[in-house]
Structure 1
Amino acid sequence: MRQPPTAGMILDYFRERGEALLAELRGFVERETPSRDGASIESFVLDYSSRLDEAGLTCRQFPGAWGPQLFAELPGEDPPIVLVGHCDTVWPAGTLAERPVEVRDGRFYGPGAYDMKAGLCIVLAVARFLFDRQVRLRRRLQIFIAADEESGGDTAHPCMDEVLAPGSTAFVVEPPCPDGSVKVRRKGVGIYELKITGREAHAGVEPERGISAVDELARLVLKLHGWNDPDRGIQLNVGTVSGGMAGNVVAGSATAGVDLRFDAPADGEAMDKKLRALEPENPGAAIEVSGGLCFPPLVPTPETMRLGERACRLAAELGLEISTGSSGGGSDGSYLSSKGLFVLDGLGVEGGGAHAVDEHVLIESLPVRAALLAGMILAADEEEPSA
């Protein structure tokens, strides 16, 4: 019987391929995949799928309005081990021209590099490791790459429900905590759009005939921010606003994008009801609320903590000192945990600047985090099946 590779052997494999990992990351980042840009995401998924094919996986795609979801699989016993990521980013098309890839001071800068093209790199690297080293897993290995995680997972989640079974062990390659720790707790997330309708009028001639949607929106922004309750873990942010047609016209319409974060599921439900019950101050205006809760909180379970402790032990063998931590960001891992999968999140590559102009990954982290992910798969595979 072939002995499983040691942590040192696994790390050596990925370090020997460090330059190739970096080159592949550059190629992924230079293919922009804005969330809800179906054509760009489809092109990326086709390319990524072909690479998984070469590593021996069987791939299928689920078409969707915002691009296809990608599901890949190696045969084996149940329950499966699942690697979960997403290929969409928050950055609009054209960002790369304004902020091209840059490598300096041991860091790789580029839009979407940290969240989460680097995670996709190590998933692919681990698939190749298993193929190259002829590692035959006992448990079935599945890979699910979502197309719309950054916009709430509306099209990905039904596909996850179809192919990912409760009781599976899911490793999510979202970025880790700032100190490299894996994530066992996350806030829940709601994404909303407020649309306010007023009535246009000439601002200089007959302003009294108008009903300003912008005025209504301004009041709403202050009201919503007043609902923030840090002690209870409730956060609301009005992140985008738009409205009106010209400076000399009373604004007849306005919109706002609202982000909700919460720790307790009951608080999420309560805030959702408050948002949907909003009323305008001017009775002639109207408020329409769309969107809703999209990610439940990730709440630690005994299985989550056991996986986290294992990750810490394996990381120590690779020269990393990490722990288990929490994040205010949402993740498909939270959704999968609520569906009965055993989830460990934050197994991606170290770096910083998620959703920010200084987004980057630490280059030296690429092979190490790939080795950690591979080690977690091998350790999970060695477990005896439950009776």
Structure 2
Amino acid sequence: MSPQSAAAPAGHTEAVGRTEADRRTETAGRTEAVGRTPARPPAVGVAFADTDALPGLPATLHSKARTLRGAVRSRCADLARIESPTGDSARLNALAEELGAGYAATGAQVRRVPNEAGDHLVMDWPGRDESLAPLLVVGHHDTVWPVGTLADWPVEERDGALTGPGVLDMKAGLALVEGAFALLADLGQRPHRPVRLVVVADEELGSPDGRKLVERQLAGAAAVLGLEPPHPDGSLKTARRGSSRVRLTVTGREAHAGNDAALGISAVDELVDQLVLVRGLVNQPGTELNAGRITGGTRANVVAGRAEAELGLRFATPEAQRRTLDNLAHLTALRPGAKVRAEVLSSRPTWPVRPANPLLRHVRSLAAALGQNLDGAPAGGAGDTNIAGARGLPTLDGLGAVGAGPHARHEHIRTDQLAPRIALLAALLAVPLPRLRERA
């Protein structure tokens, strides 16, 4: 598909679709047979999922996923070529239009949720059993890369790796789930239960608006899956640290730096000293600080009247998060006349490790049936799945593409791992979930 030239108007609700014959023709035209059937290692200590409901499913998924690999690789590259930095509403809306058209072609009802900084998307696919609670899948279409990055870092494939801004985080995840639904549609299958996919436009800022949209979907969800990239070895993410984004603002008093320096109060000097103090406050197990952005002052011959720092904080426990944010809220100025204020811009709760994880067992069993060895481990970064995991809902993240280098110039995905991920996602959609909690 090509990028849309204009975004849908605010409040636009979209339920576009093509005929089944058109969709099959398109899919046939863009698939390619690549790769070999991977060896199937024996699964040790893993009970197989209930694939009996769909006889021959593992072999069929293998075959179909291999033929779709090329199409998904191309789709990921095309999406990455639509630059979509957080906050650029025009570009985010253009990408939302393109994504919505792709998901609608696989049978989804697509809804745009207006947001000033870029529209969010909600997609719904019907299930074979509409009486069941829906499976919730979450993703995002914003990236950390500014417009113009493609000029000196184009999307290209080298040595089995597709590289470019946003390919891993997370254009590939969005392409993979589209491929999984396309695979099921080609088989004439629907997901076992209804599926809702929420794609937010502000995840890279901590989802200040998107979080509310995700939270509204949680009460009725059977389980929550995230399309963020997995660990570099392909392992899923079973827990995440909490995170908070805090703006530290210092107000001083401007003065001529030569003639009247004593009359001024340097906001820059105060901010520097406050950052040293803050680093001492957070220097404790389970807490990390990144001073991501610092601004202040106007000219070298003017005592700075204002300075700001944007801090990224990560926490291993809810207690560490509460303690640190409380300490920041009670900061006081070190210089007479200066003012210091800490403002929490966005915050995600800690998603703690849970020893009993029936959802991970289920996914591991599906992977084993597909000939894949798969495990899970906690992750250092935060994401929208924190919201569900912190509430104790059955949650897994890392179902996006295997690769490395998110937010870095070596960001890439491994194209040889696309087919296994397509097959796994399709199996997760098609195979009944086991009982994950008392009310599932």
Same fold (TM over 0.5): yes
Q: 2:270 aligns with which of 206, 212, 216?
A: 216
Q: CA separation in 2, counterparts of 1:172 and 1:380?
A: 18
Q: 2:289 aligns with which of 232, 236, 246?
A: 236
- Do structure 1's residue 103 and structure 2's residue 157 form an aligned pair? yes
Change (3 A) 1:3 1:375: closer
TM-score (norm. length: structure 2): 0.83
Q: What is the Cα deviation at residue 115 of structure 1?
A: 0.7
Q: 1:306 aligns with which of 346, 355, 358?
A: 358
**Which AA in structure 2 matches 1:141?**
V
Q: Which residue of 1 aligns with 2:302?
A: 249
Instruction: Give the secondary structure class of the aligned counterpart of 2:276.
Output: helix
Q: What is the Cα deviation at residue 163 of structure 1?
A: 3.5
Q: Can you list the C-alpha shifts for 1:365-384, whole angstroms capped at 9, x where unaligned?
A: 11211111122222345769
Q: Which residue of 2 aligns with 1:335?
A: 387
Change (3 A) 1:187 1:348: same
Q: Which residue of 2 aligns with 1:66?
A: 117
Change (3 A) 1:199 1:25: same
Q: Which residue of 2 aligns with 1:151?
A: 205
Q: CA separation in 2, counterparts of 1:348 and 1:279?
A: 44
**Which 10-residue stretch deviates more, 198-207 or 346-355?**
198-207
**Which AA in structure 1 matches 2:205?**
S
**Structure 2 residue runs without a partner (length 5+):** 1-51
Q: Which residue of 2 aligns with 1:267?
A: 320
Q: CA separation in 2, counterparts of 1:7 and 1:226?
A: 54
Q: Which residue of 1 aligns with 2:8?
A: none
Q: Which residue of 1 aligns with 2:42?
A: none
- Do structure 1's residue 26 and structure 2's residue 80 form an aligned pair? no
Q: CA separation in 1, counterparts of 2:437 and 2:431?
A: 13
Native 8 Å contact 1:198 1:251 kept in 2:
yes
**Which AA in structure 2 matches 1:250?**
V
TM-score (norm. length: structure 1): 0.93
**Structure 1 residue runs without a partner (length 5+):** none
Q: How many equivalent pairs are there?
A: 385
Q: CA separation in 1, counterparts of 2:334 and 2:53?
A: 72
Q: 2:95 aligns with which of 44, 47, 64?
A: 44
Q: What is the Cα deviation at residue 42 of structure 1?
A: 1.0
**Which AA in structure 2 matches 1:290?**
E
Q: Which residue of 2 aligns with 1:279?
A: 332
Q: 2:376 aligns with which of 324, 334, 342?
A: 324
Instruction: Give the secondary structure class of the aligned counterpart of 1:346.
Output: coil
Instruction: Give the secondary structure class of the aligned counterpart of 1:171.
Output: strand
Work out the percentage of aligned pairs sharing the same amino acid.
35
Q: CA separation in 1, counterparts of 2:296 and 2:364?
A: 49
Instruction: Give the secondary structure class of the aligned counterpart of 2:133.
Output: strand
**Which AA in structure 2 matches 1:135?**
Q
Q: CA separation in 1, counterparts of 2:245 and 2:435?
A: 39
Q: Can you list the C-alpha shifts for 1:1-45, whole angstroms capped at 9, x where unaligned?
A: 973443232122121122211111111000011112111111111
- Do structure 1's residue 351 and structure 2's residue 436 form an aligned pair? no
Q: What is the Cα deviation at residue 386 of structure 1?
A: 6.3
Q: 1:377 aligns with which of 429, 435, 439?
A: 429
Q: What is the Cα deviation at residue 315 of structure 1?
A: 2.7
Q: CA separation in 1, counterparts of 2:142 and 2:355?
A: 31
